[in-house]
Amino acid sequence: NAGVTQTPKFRILKIGQSMTLQCTQDMNHNYMYWYRQDPGMGLKLIYYSVGAGITDKGEVPNGYNVSRSTTEDFPLRLELAAPSQTSVYFCASSPGPSNPTSSYNEQFFGPGTRLTVL
């Protein structure tokens, strides 16, 4: 298993450009997540998905969009890049609890995409 893969590893964008960060997992996980990591701030949840066709906003969704057409893929779209979106982006996945009240599920992380907007 490759686990969670992300492309590209690095990208520099100009203000106003758009791009899609790709995320794929081969573990057949139902749940997928996008985080951004800023220095000294930990990880903030941008969007998440509990299954194909179902997505929802996290803490910091503004300026981003997602889609989940398959179980494996969860791309993150930046439509009009802004300097405030300079960050490291992590995709993660987890199996999803079989019993929501008693089980937990570890999140598995990809290696990240380092994005700079100038």
Partner 1 sequence: AQSVTQLGSHVSVSEGALVLLRCNYSSSVPPYLFWYVQYPNQGLQLLLKYTSAATLVKGINGFEAEFKKSETSFHLTKPSAHMSDAAEYFCAVRPFSGGYNKLIFGAGTRLAVHP
Binding stretches for partner 1 (CB under 8 A)? 4, 31, 40-45, 48, 50, 56, 90, 92, 94, 96-97, 100, 104-107, 109-112
- In whole angstroms, give the CA distance from residue 34 to residue 56: 11
H/E run at residue 51: strand 43-51
The least distance separating partner 1 from the CB of residue 94, rounded to whole angstroms, comes to: 5
Tokens 């929802």, residue located: 56
Beta carbon nearer to partner 1, 63 or 111: 111
* Least gap, CB of 32 to partner 1 (angstroms): 10
In whole angstroms, how close is the CB of 83 to partner 1 at the nearest point? 22
- Residue 71, C-beta contacts closer than 8 angstroms, at least 6 positions apart: 28, 29, 30, 51, 52
- Of residues 85 and 94, the one with the C-beta less far from partner 1: 94
Q: Which is nearer to partner 1, 14 or 39 (CB)?
A: 39
Element (H or E) spanning 23, and its range? strand 19-25
Whose Cβ is closer to partner 1: residue 8's or residue 16's?
8
Nearest C-alpha neighbor of 73 from the set 108, 32, 107, 24: 24
